[in-house]
Amino acid sequence: MLSGIKIVEICGIGPGPFCAMHLADLGAQVIAVERETSTSITGEANAAKNSLNRGKRSVVADLKTAEGRETLLKLIEGADALIEGMRPGVMERLGLGPNVCLARNPRLVYGRMTGWGQSGPLAKAAGHDNNYIALSGALYHSGSAGEAPSAPITLLGDIGGGALYLAVGLLAGVLNARATGQGTVVDAAIVDGSAHMMQLMNGLRGRGLLREERGTSVHDGSHFYATYRCADDHYIALGSMEPQFYALLLEKLGLTDDPRFARQWDAKNWPQMREQLAQVFASRSRSEWCALLEGSDVCFAPVLSPREAASHPHMVERGVYFEHDGLLQTAPAPRFDGQRVVPGPVPRRGQDTEAVLAALDRGDLTAVWQG
């Protein structure tokens, strides 16, 4: 779907590489510019292969040298977009800021991925997903009253608020450049994206479904939209919001005539009803609840680990997970015309350096991007 879109990625950690992988999954041609070696957040050297580089070409370049900078500038001359995830000011100090790069290619979309953004009092401070989504308000309603807020932080921060917003921004910029001939700078900040994702939740306030006090709203306090522990210490997730789904839940649980559950939206009784349902779900194993509720309109699902999810019949039929190079990976999404997208192979670090540099020297742009 993105065939013909050319992207140069300056490799970093987290959302930038994921964004580039996502675009490569969808058909974009991506050249990942990597360091000779890199270290993980634990200080250890990273492996020669990185699954986030699937479908990309891998080129090693030292951007602190004149030679490395010139290699990057030559690459962006034929690119539609650049992805970088440095702290604000770093690319400028390297001599590779937006002004320099856009001078080489006025149609370039310069994508900047940060946590706090390119401006503001916190712009140059260090941070991680949990910090960004905490400040944006996205973490606040995760968890129950009396508990510390908890959420799948990387999914909500790096991926949801970061990588996917950068991807949309880049594609919007490329469309604009093709129409106008002018590139642009995309400032994608996780704190912005995760706040923007709250718009749906914030819209619930006007309907009285989202309250300021944690643990008193539908998503963090009700008994019909919650996660419960089972007898085998596994969990299930319930989302029986609509009246017809709630009525079916009560029917399945044999609680239709129980007056304690007659008033679904009586919020003052939610804690009591939640405790009573907790006792009900603790009486059977997760597999027993799956046998009774899964596939019905109760709005039910077991809480699975990624490894368990990979073997679930629904996920197997849709081909959501696969194994490659000994790693469990997820298939590209979304699908087009009902067809699964097949991701490209994972390159070794720097495996395309020699070929790409040679192609640049002879001006063979086709070989630069496609080999």
Alpha-carbon distance of 250 to 260, in angstroms, equals: 11
Which pLDDT score, from 0 to 100, does residue 142 have?
A: 75
Peptide bond into 152 cis (omega under 30): no
Rounded to whole angstroms, what are the CA distances from 1 to 28, 81, 129?
Answer: 8, 16, 30
Length of the chain: 371
Which pLDDT score, from 0 to 100, does residue 168 have?
A: 97
CATH number 2.60.120.20 given to 6-197+341-370? no
pLDDT confidence bin for 202, thresholds 50/70/90: confident
**What tens digit of pLDDT does each residue of 36-52 get?**
876 555 455 556 788 99
Which pLDDT score, from 0 to 100, does residue 44 have?
A: 52
**What tens digit of pLDDT does each residue of 115-171 get?**
999 999 999 999 988 889 888 888 877 776 666 666 666 888 999 999 999 999 999
Residue type, 110: Y
Alpha-carbon distance of 128 to 130, in angstroms, equals: 6
Alpha-carbon distance of 145 to 213, in angstroms, equals: 8
**What tens digit of pLDDT does each residue of 320-352 get?**
999 887 889 999 999 998 888 889 889 999 999
Which pLDDT score, from 0 to 100, does residue 45 have?
A: 56
Mean pLDDT of the chain: 90
Least confident of 93-97, 212-216, 336-340: 212-216
**Which residue do the tokens 């959302």 mark?**
15
Sorted by sequence, the CB contacts under 8 Å of residue 281 that are 6+ apart come out as 228, 229, 230, 236, 289
Task: Return the domain boundaries, the chain.
Answer: 6-197+341-370, 222-303
Which residues are designated catalytic?
Answer: 128, 158
**What tens digit of pLDDT does each residue of 216-250 get?**
777 788 999 999 999 999 999 999 999 999 999 99
Q: What percent of the chain has pLDDT over 90?
A: 73
Question: What global pTM score does this model have?
Answer: 0.90
CATH code given to domain 222-303: 3.30.1540.10
